[in-house]
Amino acid sequence: MSAVKITEGIYSVGIMNPNMRVFDIVMKTDSGTSYNSYLVRGSEKTALIETCHESFFEEYLENIKEVCKFEEIDYIVMNHNEPDHSGSLAKLLELMPNAQLIASIAGANYLKNITNRCDLDIHKVKDGEVLDLGGLSLTFLSAPNLHWPDSMFTWVKEANTLFTCDFLGCHYCEPYTFDTRIAYPKAYDTALELYYGAIFGPFASFVRKGLEKIKALPQQPDYICTSHGPVLTKEGRMQQVLASYEAWSAEQPAGAELIPVFYTSAYGNTAKLAKKIQEGILEAKPDADCQTYDIIEHDMAQLHALINHCKAFAVGSPTLNRDAVPPVWNLLAGVDAINSGKKPALVFGSYGWTGEAVGNIQARLQGLKMNVFEDGFKVAFVPTEDDLEAAKELGKNFAMSF
């Protein structure tokens, strides 16, 4: 990828990585990604917005050199300091020793640890602060928790261009800079939604605030330059992406309480407990949306959505080799740890030998700061009629506890 002119005075100098298939350990990226970086050239000063992943440093330098000399860069604006954006910063500063760093207060603190330098020349900007480059100006807009505490937007009013870092972006790579040239729109739409869910899903309330910031701009941007994926344009997908973020982050309307019962069952015994717990919940709350879900029979993404949006839940597992079975741990790996504190949870299961599954699951949920109900419920091998009645009563009491 070479440098590309976005509009007068603004250039894309980022890197494409079409071969990346996993981001941050847990997110699949079937369409690769890009590490976007931009140069804004005024008549008096030049600013570099974001850097790139350290692995592509040499190629990144070549892109910058297509637009300007290193010594001509006066500012390096760090809207967000995750290593995929700041990874090459320490090396870059060796080539640009006179460049001043621009970051939020939180970002300035992170940069010292990321670069392992305490002598950085950092200007900590406040919300609404303006930096004049000569003919073009940078206005910094605080956007915390989108998706780090340090996040901010940069607005160039003269060019009607907004830099949002990760916000509104996606892990998607094609050999084109602008969204008007996307060759595989379905793949892009899939990548956009997966990216939102993985990166911004836990921060829905902040997403809504970020969208309000954009609506409050004096005029709609012609370009939104994100840190991953294509540049969004007014003629292209900008409105679609903004509308999608608005829909995905919308507050859920009040309705029936969602109380799913998740389970796995090797021989049907834990399944029997799940059904009785469901009956008890519905006896206490007949209007609740309470269904049982055999974990191995459902799409894990669907189950993750349920466990993160529900009012409360129950989860059951047999014991295998002194632990809960892997599908249960896969389910719990998708819990939104940021927003699940104090969520009511009930644990149950059948076992043959020693029955550690229930206790191990409870420990994990307690570690997530959930309100785990009582001591859980477990039975040896096949539940008796008394066991099943006790499971039903447990479900009823659980539902009445919140």
For residue 34, CA distances in Å to 18, 53, 119, 240 come to 7, 10, 30, 20
3-class state of residue 333 by DSSP: helix
Judged against a pLDDT cut of 90, whether residue 358 lies above it is answered with yes
> Model's pTM, two decimal places?
0.89
Percent of the chain with pLDDT over 90: 93
Tokens of 364: 């994990």
* Least confident residue range of 18-32, 124-138, 166-180, 231-245: 18-32
Total residue count of the chain as it appears in this document: 402
What is the rounded distance in angstroms from the CA atom of residue 197 to the CA atom of residue 200? 6
Per-residue pLDDT tens for 360-380? Answer: 999 999 999 999 999 999 999
For residue 1, name the pLDDT band (cuts at 50, 70, 90): low
Percent of the chain with pLDDT over 70: 100
Tokens of 227: 């840190």
Q: What is the pLDDT of residue 394?
A: 98
What is the rounded distance in angstroms from the CA atom of residue 138 to the CA atom of residue 128? 10
Give residue for tokens 């309330």: 205
For residue 273, CA distances in Å to 5, 276, 284, 318, 386 come to 63, 5, 17, 11, 11
Tokens of 382: 């096949």
For residue 350, CA distances in Å to 13, 178, 193, 197, 338 come to 58, 55, 38, 34, 30
What's the distance, Cα to Cα, between the start and end of the chain in Å? Answer: 55
For residue 241, CA distances in Å to 185, 224, 226 come to 12, 11, 12
Domains identified in the chain and CATH numbers: 4-249 (3.60.15.10), 261-400 (3.40.50.360)
What is the rounded distance in angstroms from the CA atom of residue 332 to the CA atom of residue 326? 10
Contact 332, 364 (CB under 8 A): yes
Judged against a pLDDT cut of 90, whether residue 23 lies above it is answered with no
Between strands 10-12 and 38-41, the pairing is: antiparallel
Judged against a pLDDT cut of 90, whether residue 256 lies above it is answered with no
